[in-house]
Amino acid sequence: MKAHDIMNRHVYKVKENDTVRSVIERFMDHRISGLPVINDRNEIVGYISDGDIMRYIGRKSDRVIGNFYYIAVMRDQEEMDVRVKQILNLNVLAIAKRKVITAQWDEDIDQIAAILGKRQIKKLPIERDGVLVGIISRGDVIRHVFRSVT
């Protein structure tokens, strides 16, 4: 069995000039946690996940914390609010991973499973001739492998 046999051909994706706001909207609208980032030629130029957004929101800036706990909490909340507002208008490529792990459309399913497992990723964009043509999740592999033996 090959990647093109089980891949989802309807791929939610974002363009390289989209904002993080549009990414979060797609996450919520489609109940997903990651998206390939493509250019105008449908080539994969990045991948953004909910983890990338969490890392950005959760980062700490260098600052001096006041003597009282409530001052530190207020500063933390104020900084969080600022970071959240800033991130919404960022270009998606400002926080997306640029080195994207992909597989070819004619890759064997056992290789797809090995990549997903070894790299500890949830979804794998599938390319053909350098263009995004599908996506395979861990669940896709598990469903197809176990259907074939039962």
Q: Give yes or no for a contact between 27 and 50, defined as CB atoms under 8 angstroms apart.
A: yes
State the CATH number of the domain containing residue 112.
3.10.580.10
Q: Give yes or no for a contact between 126 and 5, defined as CB atoms under 8 angstroms apart.
A: no
Span 38-73, pLDDT tens digits:
999 999 999 999 999 988 877 654 444 444 444 444
What integer pLDDT is reported at residue 145 of this predicted model?
A: 85
Q: CA angle at residue 103 from 98 to 109, to 5 degrees?
A: 145
Number of domains in the chain: 1
Which range marks the domain in which residue 56 is found?
A: 3-149
- Tokens for 29, please give them: 């609208």
Question: Under 8 Å CB-to-CB from 107, ≥6 apart: which residues?
Answer: 2, 3, 126
Average pLDDT over residues 93-112: 96
Q: Please tell me the distance from the alpha carbon of residue 96 to that of residue 6, in angstroms, as a whole number.
A: 26
Q: Please tell me the distance from the alpha carbon of residue 49 to that of residue 33, in angstroms, as a whole number.
A: 6
pTM of the model: 0.82
Residue 133: C-alpha distances to residues 15, 60, 136 (Å)? 15, 38, 10
Q: Give yes or no for a contact between 143 and 120, defined as CB atoms under 8 angstroms apart.
A: no
Q: Give yes or no for a contact between 17 and 91, defined as CB atoms under 8 angstroms apart.
A: yes
Which residues, in sequence order, are bridge partners of residue 123? Answer: 137
